[in-house]
Every structure is written in structure tokens, then in C-alpha cells.
Amino acid sequence: MLKQNMVSPVGDILKFLSILMLLVITVISQPTFAAVEGEPEGVIMKNPGADLWREVRQRNIAIEGISQIKSVDSGILINPEADRWTRFRVDQLVNYAAIILAGLALLLLVFYLLRGKIKVEGGLSRQMLHRFSDYERVLHWTLAIVFLFLAITGLTLLLGRTFLIPLFGQEFFSLLASSSKEGHNLFGPIFFASLIMMILRFVKRNIYEKGDLTWLVKGGGIIGKSHVSGGFFNMGEKTWYWIVILIGLLISVSGLILVSPNFGQGRVIMELSHIVHVISAIILIAVSFGHMYLGSVGTEGALESMKTGYVDVNWAESHHDRWAKECRDNNRVISADKFNRLQGKINSGTEESGSVAVEGNK
């Protein structure tokens, strides 16, 4: 009985000492409060651990450790390139892209106001030449529409935070950016496939040949009134074709890298691909402004080739005289009345329309 009474006080003392030690540890581990000059009382002093992480972030190389996750760059603690990429994207890519696109659009507007629409010398004759087949026009419009969709969604993702949030607010922009991202990723492969089809269909007609350099020296007839000679495609159109193909392939490859991050490429490759993708896209969009301008309001009779597949004889002689002469020599000129009749028959899908299309592609 005496032994049990002696054990009980000892146990109580041990319990009391344990509780006391826990209280002491808890008090010591709590952050201290101090009145710092220039700051209100009660502000918590900075965590000393912040200095450690700040030192880690100041390193010029990625610190690689050991991770249970086995994948590319999974052992890298801090990637300093990410900060530099972010600053470059926000401070330079966004600003320069907006300046380039807005400046070029303004330049084309001023040029149109000063120069006006480039008229066909002697006016339109209403005699027509078959220039593009239905397949070629469908291919052209497919690539054009997909490109415009990708350009709009891509610019929304690139410039939207700067220009759209102030106008529509964060919630609307969040919905717009999310849908733009999904649509951009979905239509990207279609753009790539269209490029391949454009290569297979038009590459032979876009090989540079004798006389193309003269077109370049004379500015394509845009500057001044002098006539410039050209074949089926002039040097300006051939150059535009190769810009679309080469830069388009660069955009496509870099885009596929960005949407497929599980093929072994690390963060640095992804960052470089993003920069290449954006710069290439801005260049192609900027140059496309000139193509769309010249192919529509800038040049009389140019849009007709992609609307009906036919062009006016006088337009052909003004811009593609060598090809026009070849068509005349082979009796491919169609009168205005016959052209109107053919358009009606082509729309109804008659047999004669198919024979005319074959004749025009000889």
C-alpha cells in the first residue's frame, strides 16, 4: 500500500514536467513580434527561411536534387530560366507584338488612303480565264480560315491580359482565354495538314524563274505606274507562298512541342518553343495583312480568282502577262456571257462544268 502511494506522486511530477517542457518549447517556437521602424506594431518579422530560398533563387543554374517522381526535370528545385522567360514574354513579346501589328495595320490604311485601289489598266474586259480549280480554292480557304482562327485565339492568349481584361473584366477574359486555348490546340493540327497539302499542290508553280527579279526591282507595280511581267505566280506571290510554308512549318513544329509535353522535352525546350512559336506567328500574321489587303480591297479583280476560280483577261495581262499570253495562245479565253452560263452550270454540278475545270488546268 505504501509503495503504491509513493509511485503516484512521482508519476504526477513527471507528467507536470512533461507539460512544462511542452509549454516552453511552444513558446520558444512561436514567432516574435517586434515594432520595426516604419511598420505598425504587431507585424511578424520575416521568416529566416526566406533568406535561404532567396539565395537559392539567385543562382544562375538550376539546382537538381533527388525526387521520387521520375520524369524530365523532376529533380530541379528552382528553374531560374522560368523567371527570365516570363519577363521576356511580358515585357518584350507582348509589347513588341502589339506595336508591330498595330503599326503595320496603320501603315496599310495610310497607303490605301494615299494610293487607293490598284486599278486594272484599261478596265475589266469581262472576258475570263480559268485560274484555280475547285479543289485549289477549297484548300486555300481552308488554310486561310484556320489561320485566321489560330491568329485570333493566339493573340487573345498573348495580348488578352493586357488589352481585354480592362475592357471586359477578368471573369469574361477567363472564359474567353480557356475556350481560345482549347480551340487553338484543336485547330493547330488542321493548319499543319493544310500546309502539307499546299506544298504538294502548289510547289511546282512557285519555283523562282527568270524574270522574277525584275518584278522585285520594280516593286511589283505597286509603286509607280510601270508594268511588271509575271508568270502564273509573280515573285511577290511566290515569296508569300514560301513565307507561309516555311514559317508555317516552324509554327506547327513548335506548337506540337508545346501541346505534347510528354515526349521528353524539358522546361527549357518548352520555353524556347514558346518564344519561337510566338515570334514566328507574329511575323506570319504581319505579312498576311499585306496579302489580305492586296487580295481584296487593294487590287481590282484579284479576289475574283478565289471566289469563282476565274480572272479577267485584262487583270491577268496586268499582273501575269506571260501566263495570259499562254492562255490566249491555247484559246482558253471565255466570253462574259459564257462565263455567266458556266457559273450557273458549275453551281448545279452539270457535266459541262467539270470539263471546263479540266480545260482550265491544262
Q: Is 121 helix (H, G, I), strand (E, B) or coil?
A: coil
Residue range 202-226, pLDDT digits in tens:
999 999 987 777 777 766 655 555 5
Residue 357 in contact with residue 133, Cβ under 8 Å? Answer: yes
Most confident listed range (60-74, 111-125, 277-291): 277-291
Of 10-24, 223-237, 272-286, 304-318, least confident by mean pLDDT is 10-24
For cell 526591282, name the residue. 217
Domain boundaries, the chain: 129-329
d(CA 324, CA 155): 40
pLDDT tens profile 25-77 = 555 555 544 444 554 454 455 666 677 666 666 666 666 667 776 777 777 77
Q: Alpha helix locations (H) across the chain?
A: 2-29, 48-57, 80-88, 94-115, 134-163, 165-168, 170-202, 212-217, 235-259, 267-294, 304-307, 313-319, 321-329, 336-348, 351-360
Would you state the cell numbers that stand for residue 317, as one nine-digit string?
Answer: 495581262
More confident residue, 51 or 299: 299
The DSSP result for 232-251, as a single string, is: SS-HHHHHHHHHHHHHHHHH
In the structure grid, which three cell numbers stand for residue 78, read together?
Answer: 528552382
Q: Is residue 234 within 8 Å of residue 220, measured between CB atoms?
A: yes
**DSSP type of residue 90:** I
Q: Count how many Cα atoms sit within 13 Å of the Cα of residue 314 in the half-sphere of its side chain.
A: 14
**pLDDT per residue as tens digits for the range 174-202:** 999 999 999 999 999 999 999 999 999 99
CATH of the structural domain 129-329, one choice from 1.20.950.20, 3.40.50.970, 1.10.940.10, 2.20.25.570: 1.20.950.20
- C-alpha–C-alpha distance, residues 327 and 314, integer Å: 12
Phi and psi torsions of 117, nearest 5°: -70, 135
**pTM listed for this prediction:** 0.74
